Amino acid sequence: MPSFVDDLFVHGNLVTGGLGIGNIYYVVNEDSTSYSDLRNRLFGKVHADGSKIFHPHKSTASAVTRDGLKAALACCVEDRNDYVVVMPSNSTYHIDAALIMNKKCMHLICPAGMGYEIGATNAARIQQITTALACIAVSDASIEIAGLYIKQYADIAAITLAAASYAPNIHHNTFPLAWSSAPAAAITCAGDGGAWGKIERNWFVSQAGGAVTAAIAAISILDYATAAQANHNMVTIGDTEIATLAISNLAVKGNTNFNIFSECGGSGVSDGGTITNAIAIHGSGCAIGNRGAVASGCLLSGGTAAKSFCDNLDGRSTSGTDIWNLEA
């Protein structure tokens, strides 16, 4: 009896287009235990435009011999609403180039990594092994990245959004923060990159010790990025690391709401870290419902008194159980 996958194909071509979905491309790690099964089911299948559906990926921590991620993304077409689906693997998807997402309405997702309220499982781990390169470089609008465990090269942004990268949808990812000397924010926007979009439900967590200081740890959005949103994220700084800022959303009319911050016990504890300032916003932005296990006065900055803030709570330095209600 034909399988569900077989039912999706007619004369070797994948039948897509339902609900406005374009082509679907599958990336499979050759070291995965499921590789042979998926290869048998998908190898040789093509879309109506002739593009291959199955994209094997082969890599080690020092070399990439077959870049299925790069190949699959290159098959996507502007405005077709194409999906690149990353299949789970016990082995890491190492990359030695930035993954280019430069066509409107393209998606890079790992469905197996989603399910958490915040963050992703490590079903699919993408790790940059080449210095001075981001993991993913976004340079067009309405692009989705979801369900991935994305490990940056030390001090280099995991995801960059170029100017005019409007309305991104970056959600349910985990970012282990690899810091060495002068870290970039894990998600770094240039110009108006990120405007009218959402960076939501991601987990940013320090990974190594060494008392390194990051100017901005998790998200950096500039004032040109009108109405950018950074909501429902979690930032965990431990390992004696220092985040001068955790989330900087300087967007005009920006929203930075319902985020969670922790210093893991603080710099006085061996595994603790320091968050000097959790959130910075524009004078026209707002910060609503944020929670921070950080010292009093270290949760919020910027904004406009009596207009920008509502229902935000931080921890008193004298007691881990007491909280301040920050309404100013």
Does 200 score more than 70 pLDDT?
yes
pTM for the whole structure:
0.92
What pLDDT does residue 327 have? 43
pLDDT digits over 69-123, tens only? 999 999 999 999 999 999 999 999 999 999 999 999 999 999 999 999 999 999 9
| Mean pLDDT along residues 223-239 | 97
With CA atoms as reference, report the closest residue to 287 among 237, 241, 230: 230
Residues 129, 98 contacting (CB under 8 angstroms): no
pLDDT digits over 207-230, tens only? 876 789 999 999 999 999 999 999
Q: Distance between CA atoms of 281 and 231, rounded to whole angstroms? A: 13
How many C-alpha atoms does 81 have within 13 Å on its Cβ side? 7
What pLDDT does residue 17 have? 56
Residues 91, 33 contacting (CB under 8 angstroms): no
pLDDT digits over 42-64, tens only? 999 999 999 999 999 999 999 99
Residues 207, 238 contacting (CB under 8 angstroms): no
Residue carrying structure tokens 């949808």: 169
- Residue 309 belongs to what H/E stretch? strand 309-310
